[in-house]
Structure 1
Amino acid sequence: MESPGPIAFTIGTMEIRWYGILIATGAMLATLLAYKRAPKRGIQPDDVLDLVLWTLPIGIIGARVYYVIFSWNTLYRYDPMEAFNIREGGLAIHGGLIFGLVTAWAICRKKNIPFLSMADLILPGVALAQCIGRWGNFFNSEAYGRPTNLPWAIVVNGQHVHPTFLYESVWCGLLCLFLLYVDNRHRRFSGQIMCLYGILYSAERFFVESLRTDSLMLGPFRQAMVLSAFVFVGSIILYVFLKRREEN
């Protein structure tokens, strides 16, 4: 399988890219999912929309800033203006999550909404958005893995490689379904869904990142693997703490 190219269609001289279409689609479906489930959480649906209006653009900015910082010397040092060319791809999900969650926390604090409840509400949708948005990497022929002879390999630059975007897309789709299942049937305390997201997404990302050839680096280490390890351990500790607090 080989990418048909990044451009979905054109309107006059304007190129509409799959990358933007898929990110927008994922964001809309994530918003709709949280909006529909909000009353069950005791959260006003309009508060979800207010949150999205702030966290979505700030999250995208954060994802780009994070990517540019870690790619500065290799991609943008001699052409800084290219850092604003987001249409070509280059968003780091960890940056988006960090900026987005901090923004969500600030909004929840201002509106007096329990942050853990809001996080539990929106994160299944975030996993869904990641599932859909990762296909933008396929159309851009980016975020792929090492050469492989596996039957599901994709072709990039004439070489068969691991479709790491696909691994993450499938995992995030299953993660969304699992989080919704736990939330509906087995939720025991506020923050449980948030912690499970942190544990399960970080475990997957740590493994998939080891296959990629375009990792952002932190010295000699792949930064996504380092951050995933910290989030994995931190989420487990927080899960145990919140669970014990609820039981006491």
Structure 2
Amino acid sequence: METTIQPLDRVFLHLGPITIYWYGVIIGTGVLLGLWLATREAVRRGLPKETFVDLVLFAVPIAIICARTYYVIFEWDYYSKHLSEIPKIWEGGLAIHGGLIGAIATGIVFAKVRGLSFWKLADIAAPSIILGQAIGRWGNFMNQEAHGGPVTRQFLESLHLPDFIINQMYINGQYYHPTFLYESVWDFIGFLLLLALRNINLRRGELFLSYLIWYSIGRFFIEGMRTDSLMLTAHLRMAQVMSIVLILIAVSLWIFRRVRGLAKERYTD
């Protein structure tokens, strides 16, 4: 007998002609929670309360546009024939690396305009960013995307996952690796790690660089399990390439800033 499992409803709410999807609700929740945490920490670090509210008003829209643009570029064979689908971000298709590039660029410009240290802002924001990523992956879960290769139901049960996750990983007659979950857990552990590193009082910028290194290590290995990767070539997954590049950049900046005396200030200074 064929197994019949209904996926979870992707729609959160209908408001007349407006449809609100779980994907957007979950990502929005991650942004708001991250903003709340960053604002609290900014006040503790002596910055005006509205600093991160102002930053987010610019950074979030730009990050979403960059995340979508990044995704569309690498899936251009499809979107060139379906131009009307490019704006449909509620169906998924936001590349984290594209969003990260947009957010960092916005942060650099914002810090320069406000006369603030970019590294100080980045350190404060780092735990919020990775927590937002941990939460956001559940938007992929609702859309049944960002999963890995085929597995059996017995394998998923051996992970002691609740039925609602196992059932949602049943897609078109096949169970799949819940790679969204692996990355979400990795990111949440990274969030706790960054909170602990605050107490070590690293030099300015090194908390953010720690985030880049931690996230990129996990993403590199988890990406290798996925079936929907954006590809640079027939054999190179773009996210893995970006992960290696970010690790090299972060380690190089860490060493360079210490050698050149550019990281004398501490996190709590």
Q: What is the TM-score normalised by the length of structure 1? A: 0.94
1:168 aligns with 2:162: no
Runs of 5+ unmatched residues, structure 1: none
Alignment of 1:96-175 (within 5 A): 96-149=99-152, 150-151=155-156, 152=159, 154-175=169-190
Distance in 2 (CA, whole Å) between partners of 1:95 and 1:193 is 21
Distance in 1 (CA, whole Å) between partners of 2:244 and 2:49 is 34
Q: Retained in 2: the 8 A contact 1:195–1:236?
A: yes
* Other-structure match for 1:95: 98
Q: Retained in 2: the 8 A contact 1:128–1:176?
A: yes
Q: Retained in 2: the 8 A contact 1:189–1:242?
A: no
Q: Retained in 2: the 8 A contact 1:55–1:104?
A: yes
Aligned letter for 1:44? Answer: P
In the TM superposition, residue 238 of structure 1 has moved relative to its aligned partner by: 1.7
Distance in 2 (CA, whole Å) between partners of 1:49 and 1:12 is 30
Aligned letter for 1:34? Answer: A
In percent, how many aligned pairs have the same letter? 41
In the TM superposition, residue 81 of structure 1 has moved relative to its aligned partner by: 1.8
Q: Retained in 1: the 8 A contact 2:212–2:246?
A: yes
Q: Retained in 2: the 8 A contact 1:3–1:140?
A: no
Distance in 1 (CA, whole Å) between partners of 2:102 and 2:202 is 27
In the TM superposition, residue 84 of structure 1 has moved relative to its aligned partner by: 1.1
In the TM superposition, residue 41 of structure 1 has moved relative to its aligned partner by: 2.2
* Aligned partner of 1:63 among 57, 64, 67: 67
Distance in 2 (CA, whole Å) between partners of 1:38 and 1:213 is 39
Q: Retained in 1: the 8 A contact 2:70–2:95?
A: yes
Q: Retained in 2: the 8 A contact 1:18–1:139?
A: yes
Q: Retained in 2: the 8 A contact 1:7–1:18?
A: yes
1:34 aligns with 2:38: yes
Runs of 4+ in 1 over 4 A off after TM superposition: none
Distance in 1 (CA, whole Å) between partners of 2:183 and 2:75 is 22
1:25 aligns with 2:29: yes
Q: Retained in 2: the 8 A contact 1:6–1:19?
A: yes
Q: Retained in 1: the 8 A contact 2:204–2:264?
A: no
In the TM superposition, residue 89 of structure 1 has moved relative to its aligned partner by: 1.2
1:90-134 CA distance string (max 9 Å, x none): 100000000111011001011110000000011110111111111
Root mean square deviation of aligned Cα: 1.7
Distance in 2 (CA, whole Å) between partners of 1:138 and 1:195 is 28
In the TM superposition, residue 247 of structure 1 has moved relative to its aligned partner by: 6.3
* Other-structure match for 1:213: 227
In the TM superposition, residue 42 of structure 1 has moved relative to its aligned partner by: 2.6
Distance in 2 (CA, whole Å) between partners of 1:3 and 1:30 is 29
> Which secondary structure does the structure 2 equivalent of 1:8 belong to?
strand
> Which secondary structure does the structure 1 equivalent of 2:14 belong to?
strand
1:5-52 CA distance string (max 9 Å, x none): 311232234322100000110000010000001022232221111111
Aligned letter for 1:225? Answer: Q
Runs of 5+ unmatched residues, structure 2: 160-165
> Which secondary structure does the structure 2 equivalent of 1:218 belong to?
coil
